[in-house]
Amino acid sequence: MQNHHHFILHKPTGYISQLVSNQRKQRKKKLLGELYNFPEGTMPVGRLDEDSEGLLLLTTDGKLSEQIRSQAVEKEYYVQVDGEITPEAIERLKHGVEISIFGKKYTTLPCDAAPLDPPDVGPPKRKRSDRHGPTSWLSITITEGKFRQVRKMTAAVGFPTLRLIRVRIGHITLDGMPSGSVEEVDGFQFGF
């Protein structure tokens, strides 16, 4: 029986959810492999885009990766949006909104969404000037993970995402991990 490795990572903004680059001529991107010496065969479970931050799980176990990416496992995000989010917009998010995935219309599954007091998540990578108007925070918990889904959902209800932080996958949370830190855990802690 193969011994698998499992990791919890607090992905900083500016990194792509990839360990090594397969493209020689690609402009220099920061890769997760620069944060830790992961064993061969390690793969991220799902992705966070370059501008997003927060919880990312990595494993050498493909079956566990599929299980975590399934709709049985919740993924929670703290989202800062442009403007004061309205109760109507939150209700629309909860019931599912139409977004585009690779040029095809898609209606998101119902989710949990609620306004949130500004969380203690540290400063953003880029400071936004107050002259751009107010912002607000909300928590969104989904069970799916389409390409840039949460960003597309908030834009669909008129409140573009400014900052996106994944704080929970199933029972695993960031739990105060500093940005850029990696923790190896055993299968029992990581298991779903």
- Is the pLDDT at 71 greater than 90, yes or no? no
- Do 20 and 103 have their domain in common? no
State the pLDDT at residue 1.
54
Q: 3-state DSSP call for residue 127?
A: coil
Write out pLDDT tens, residues 81-139: 999 999 999 999 999 999 999 999 999 999 999 999 999 888 777 666 666 789 999 99
Write out pLDDT tens, residues 145-178: 899 999 999 999 999 999 999 999 999 999 889 9
CA–CA dist 48, 113 (Å, integer): 19
- Do 180 and 159 have their domain in common? no
Contacts of 38 (CB under 8 A, 6+ apart): 5, 7, 19, 32, 58
CA–CA dist 79, 189 (Å, integer): 27
State the pLDDT at residue 190.
67
State the pLDDT at residue 123.
75
Number of domains making up the chain = 2
In the predicted model, what is the mean pLDDT of the chain? 90
- Is the pLDDT at 5 greater than 60, yes or no? yes
- Do 79 and 165 have their domain in common? yes
- Do 90 and 13 have their domain in common? no
CA–CA dist 19, 29 (Å, integer): 11
- Do 59 and 79 have their domain in common? no
CATH, residue 149: 3.30.70.1560
- Domain region containing 122: 75-169
Q: Residue 1: inside a domain, yes or no?
A: no
CA–CA dist 25, 65 (Å, integer): 30
pTM of the model: 0.92
- Do 27 and 48 have their domain in common? yes
- Do 34 and 62 have their domain in common? yes
- Do 37 and 109 have their domain in common? no
- Do 80 and 158 have their domain in common? yes
- Name the residues annotated as catalytic: 49
Q: Residue 118: inside a domain, yes or no?
A: yes
Q: Residue 140: inside a domain, yes or no?
A: yes
The one-letter amino acid code at 164 reads: L
Whether the CB-CB separation of 89 and 159 falls below 8 Å is answered with yes
Query: From the CB of residue 29, how many other CB atoms can be counted at a distance below 10 Å?
Result: 13
- Do 132 and 179 have their domain in common? no
